[in-house]
Amino acid sequence: MTDPTHTQGDAGLAVPRRILGFERDAAGEWIVRLACGHRRHVRHRPPLSDYPWLADAAAREARIGAAIECGRCGRGELPADVAECRTTDTFDEATLPAGLRRDRTIRAGGC
């Protein structure tokens, strides 16, 4: 597997994300579903991309939960199916409430 911390040129930093599963596109190429909500093609085409485990179902299954790089997260792109739940006023440094300054997580199930 390639180094998940390498940079991808002007694309930004490739951020490691957990693999949730695999699917195939219309051409039969492997797509990895990631915990961040993105999907990315993964191809075993050495020396540019080295993923020999793609050819074996048990090896793919063993990779579920492992980290792989997500260039879209590195570029700050949101997944295509993200929906806005609620909005609020625009804040600045002086008006941001203390509760929004804490680390936040998104609850399971979204909104």
For residue 102, what pLDDT band results from cuts at 50, 70 and 90?
confident
For residue 110, what pLDDT band results from cuts at 50, 70 and 90?
low
For residue 92, what pLDDT band results from cuts at 50, 70 and 90?
confident
**Number of domains forming the structure of the chain:** 1
Residue in the structure block whose two tokens are 């793919």: 60
Higher pLDDT, 104 or 8: 104
pLDDT tens digits for 54-88?
A: 999 999 999 999 999 999 999 989 898 888 787 77
* pLDDT for 4 beyond 50: no
Provide CB contacts within 8 A for 36, sequence distance 6+: 15, 17, 70, 72, 73, 79
Whole-structure pTM over 0.75, yes or no? no
Q: Residue 14 burial by CB count (10 A; 0-12/13-18/19+): exposed, middle or buried?
A: buried
C-alpha to C-alpha distance for 43 and 54, rounded to whole angstroms: 8
Tell whether 47 is covered by a domain. yes
Tell whether 95 is covered by a domain. no
CB 61 within 8 Å of CB 9: no
Tell whether 27 is covered by a domain. yes
Tell whether 97 is covered by a domain. no
Q: What percent of the chain has pLDDT over 70?
A: 86
Tell whether 46 is covered by a domain. yes
Range of the domain at 35: 9-74
Tell whether 85 is covered by a domain. no
